[in-house]
Amino acid sequence: MVATNAPSRLAPIHLFPNPVSEKLTIASSNTGITRYELRSMTGKILKQGIFEYSGFAEMSAFPAGIYLLYSYRDGLYTGIEKVIKQ
């Protein structure tokens, strides 16, 4: 079997509000624990967390700009979403 970086076929992650100023809600209809990493555009991990169905990421301390939210389930990459911080 050949490993790829292609996302698995789980339901997508939903982010709101986006653009965000303070608290970002992260939601999914997938069952089980989802892990996320909020990264800068250079790839530096700024925040990590876990949630089941929904969770929050506090964004007020970050400067305005574009960030990337990577999601993982059962150790597998499931997707990436752009986050705009106001």
Q: Which domains does the chain have, with CATH numbers?
A: 19-85 (2.60.40)
What pLDDT does 2 receive? 46
Cβ(83)–Cβ(15) under 8 Å? Answer: yes
Strand partners, 33: none
What pLDDT does 29 receive? 85
The two structure tokens encoding residue 27: 């939601």
Per-residue pLDDT of the chain (86 residues; tens, 9 = 90+): 444 555 556 677 899 999 999 999 999 887 889 999 999 999 999 999 999 989 999 999 999 999 999 999 988 888 999 999 99
Q: What is the mean pLDDT of the chain?
A: 89
